[in-house]
Amino acid sequence: MSFLDSIFVSLFSTMVIFIVLVIIAFCINLMKFFFSDKKEEKAVEARPVAVVAKKDDEEEIVAAITAAISEYLGTSYFKVNTIRRIKEKREEIRITK
């Protein structure tokens, strides 16, 4: 076997491997299409959340409020950008979807 034959076998084998990997990726995407849930997920924009908390329990309160907002919105795909204190006391907190 000559040097050119061995290079041809190596390149051909590499092409076969990549073709098989592309076929496997296509099959996985096809399975996602057939076996996925049919409900549509709403895209939720990242909004800043204002939090009023004491220093000692601040992390626990922030985690609880974040979990409550996540449950209310029905998704865990949102990001808390900033947490700031509110100077005036409000009676009602409104969260719109």
Q: Are residues 1 and 30 in the same domain?
A: yes
Q: Are residues 67 and 21 in the same domain?
A: no
Based on the fold, state whether residues 90 and 53 are members of the same structural domain: yes
pLDDT of residue 24: 96
Mind giving me the DSSP string for 11-47? HHHHHHHHHHHHHHHHHHHHHHHHHS--PPPPP----
**47-66, pLDDT tens digit by residue?**
665 545 455 577 787 778 78
Instruction: Indicate whether 3 pLDDT > 60.
Output: yes
74 and 58 together in one domain: yes
For residues 71 and 26, membership in a common domain is answered with no
- Stated pTM of the model: 0.37
pLDDT of 83 strictly over 60: yes
pLDDT at 6: 93
CA 94 – CA 73 distance, rounded (Å)? 12
Tell me the three state secondary structure of residue 46: coil
Domain that holds residue 68: 40-97
